[in-house]
Structure 1
Amino acid sequence: MHATIVALYQSREMLVTMYTREMGFDALLARILTELPELSSELRKAARFLVDHPDEVALVSMRVLAARSEVTPTTFVRLARRLGFGDWAALRKPFEDRLRSGKAPFAARADALVKRGSEAIFAESLRTTVANLAAAEAANGSEEIATACAILEKAQRIRVAGFRSCRAPAHALVYLCRMFRRDVTLLGGDGGAMEAELAALGKREAVVAIGFSPYSRELGPVMEAAQRHSVPIVAIVDSMAAPIARHADVTLRFSTDSPSFFPSVAAAMAIVEALAATMLARSGPAAAARVRETELELQAFGAYLPE
C-alpha cells in the first residue's frame, strides 16, 4: 500500500514537472495569480514582485531580486517549488522566453497606454528609468566592465553597431570615445556601405553590438562577420539569451522596462556613457590630453554657440 502511494505521488510529481517545463509566461502568470491568496506572506511578496517586474526577473540574479523585493533568496526557491518547478532556473525560464520573444507589440502597448490615460505616466516613467539604472548597476559587475575595457583598449579599431532606437546609444559611444581616440567608428554610419565595412574587418579590431528584443536584423550580418574574422565582441543587450550575446566575449546587460509603449534605452545610454568614462580613466593622462585637444579643435571650428 505504501509503495502504491509513493508511486502515485512520484507520478503526480512527474506530471507537474512536465507541465511546468512547457509552461509559457501567460500560463505561469495566471497560475501565480490563482495561487496568490493561498501563499504565505513571504511567498506572496515574492510572487507579486515577479508579476510586477517580469523584465527584471529575466535580467538580474535571484540575489538582486530578493534584495529588491525584501525577501530572502531562498524564498524564490520555495516559491518555484510551490508552483511546481524543480528549481528557480525553471521558474525563471518563461520570463526569459518572454523577453527574448519580444512579446507585447508596440501597437498593443500604445493602445493600452491611451486607454489608461495620461495621469502619473510622466512620474512613473522617471521612476522606472531609475529602477532600470539600478538594475544595470546590479547586473554588470566590475569583472565584466574590466573585460570589456580590456578588449576595446587592445583593439586598433572599434566598430560600434546599433540600429533603430539603439542608434542613439551607439552614436553616443562613438562620439564620446572619439574625444580621446580616433579609431572608433559607427557601422553603417555613411548610409549604406555596411557590407564593405564588414568585409574589411580585421582581427585586431573589436565590435560593440547594442540591441534589445526584438533585435534589429542588421545585427545578424555584423555578428556573423565578427565571428568569421575572429573579431572580439562586446554585447550590450537586454538579456543573456539575446542572439548577439551568444557569441560575445563579454556581455553587459540593461533593462528596457517602461510604462510607455516602447522599450526604454535610458539604461543602455547610461552604460555606454559609463563605459566611455571608464575607458578614459584607464587610459591615463595622455587620453585626458587628447580630450583637451579635441575640445579646443571643436571650439576653433565654431561648434558651440557663444554663451
Structure 2
Amino acid sequence: MTAPPDPPATAAPPETLQELRALAVAIAQGEGGISLGAKARGALSRILDLTGDPVLLSITTLAERLEVSPSTLTRLAHSLGYSGFPGFQQVLLSASMSAPGAFYSRRAASALEGGSSTRARAARLCRENQANIDRFIEQFDEAAFDMAAEMIMAVPRVVVHGIRQFHSIASFLVYGLRMIRSDVALLDANGLGIAEGLALLGEGGVLISTSCAPYSAQVVEVAAEARKLGIGTVALTDRTDSPLVQSSRAAILVAHETSFLSNSIGAFTVAVECLVNACAATRPAAARRALRERDRMIERLRVEIG
C-alpha cells in the first residue's frame, strides 16, 4: 500500500514588520502566493499604517477602528500564514508603542493649546510633515527602493506621470533625474497624447506613476495599461493597497496624513530627493560626468548669478 503524499509545504509567515509590509506589496502586485480580496487588502494596509498604535493591543479595539469584525482579522491572519491572530499581533507589536513621529504629534498638540494662532497652525503642519518623514524612513523598503533605482537607470527612456497636485511631484522628479541621466520626460508634457507617449516609450522604457488616495483615475488606468504592454512600472504612492502598487514592479510608499487642506506632498518631495540620490548611486561615475557637464552648461549660458 502506498503512503499518501505529504501535504504541500507552506511558506513561513512574516516574522518582522518589514517582511509583512513586503508581503502586502507582493500580494497587491499579484505575487507572494497569497490571494486576498479587496476588503482584506484594505484592512491589511490600514493595519500597517497603525504601526506602534496601542489599538493593536486588542483584536476587539482594532476591529472597531477598522470597522470590521474580529473574525475578519482572524481570517486575515490565517490567510497570511499565521496560526491565529496572536501570531499576527506579535509581529505588529514588534514596533514601539510610540508610533513613528508621535513626538511631533504631541508637540503639535501642545503648540495648539490655548488657541489656534497662525504660528500654532504652522507649527502643527510642519511637525506633521516631520512625522510623515519619520514614518517613511522607519518603514523604508530598501529592496524596493534599490529595484526602482536600478530600473530607472538601466533603461534608455523614462517618463513620469502625475496630474493635478502630483504634477508638481512628477515635475520635480523629472528635474532631478535629468541632472544625472538623459531622456527623462513628463508623460504627455506637450499635450500630444498619452497613448502616443506610451507607444514611444515602448517595452524598453520605464513609467513612474505617482498619486495618493483618492487616486487620480487617469494615472491608475495608464499605469495598468503600461504594465500590460510590458513597460517597466514604478509606483510612488501611499499604501500597500494603492491601485498603483498592483500594476508596479517596484513600489515606494510615503505617508501623507496632515492637517493641510489637501493631500500633503512634503514627505513625497523628500522621497523624490532620496530616489534621485539612489539613482545617482547606482551609476556614480556617469552621474558625476552628467553633473559636471550640467555645471559647465549653466556657466556658459550664465544661467545663475551671485
For the pair 1:80 / 2:62, whether they are aligned, the reply is yes
- Percent identity for Structure 1 against Structure 2: 21
Return the match for 1:61 from 40, 48, 61. 48
**How high is the TM-score relative to the length of structure 1?**
0.65
Give 1:138 deviation, angstroms.
2.3
SS in 2 for 1:268: helix
1:146 aligns with 2:146: yes
Rounded to whole Å, the distance in 1 between the matches of 2:286 and 2:244 is: 33
* Partner Cα separation in structure 2 for residue 137 and residue 59 of structure 1: 18
Q: Aligned equivalents of 2:201 and 2:281: distance in 1? A: 27
For residue 218 of structure 2, what is the aligned residue in structure 1?
218
Look up the match of 1:294. 294
- 2:60 and 2:70 in contact (8 A); partners too: no
Residue of structure 2 in register with 1:236 after alignment: 236
Amino acid at match of 2:205: E
Q: Which residue of 2 aligns with 1:259?
A: 259
Q: Following TM superposition, where does structure 1 have runs of at least 4 consecutive aligned residues deviating by more than 4 angstroms?
A: 57-60, 81-84, 88-91, 116-119
User: 2:179 is paired with a residue of what secondary structure?
Assistant: coil
- What letter is aligned with 2:48? S
1:201–1:225 contact (8 Å) kept in structure 2: no
Q: TM-score, normalised by structure 2?
A: 0.65
Q: CA deviation at 1:246?
A: 0.9
- In structure 1, list runs of 5 or more residues that go unmatched: 1-56, 92-115
RMSD between aligned alpha carbons? Answer: 2.9
Aligned partner of 1:269: which letter?
T
Q: Is the 8 A contact 2:45 2:241 kept in 1?
A: no
Aligned residues: 222
The DSSP-based 3-state class of the residue aligned with 1:235 is strand
Cα distance change of structure 1 residues 76 and 174 upon mapping to structure 2, 3 Å threshold: farther
Rg larger in 1 or in 2? 1
Distance 1:238 1:264, change over 3 A: same
Shift of 1:80: 3.2
| Amino acid aligned to 1:302 | R
Is the 8 Å Cα contact of residues 60 and 135 (structure 1) preserved in structure 2? no
| SS state at 1:191 partner | coil
1:1-307 matches, within 5 Å, as 58=45, 61=48, 65-66=51-52, 69=53, 75-77=57-59, 79-80=61-62, 85-86=70-71, 87=73, 118-119=117-118, 120-304=120-304, 306-307=305-306
Higher helix share: 1
**CA shift for structure 1 position 199:** 2.4
Q: Indicate if the aligned counterparts of 2:159 and 2:187 stay in contact, CA closer than 8 A.
A: yes
SS in 1 for 2:201: coil
Distance of aligned partners of 1:131 and 1:228 in 2 relative to their CA distance in 1, 3 Å threshold:
same
How far off its partner does 1:131 sit? Answer: 0.6
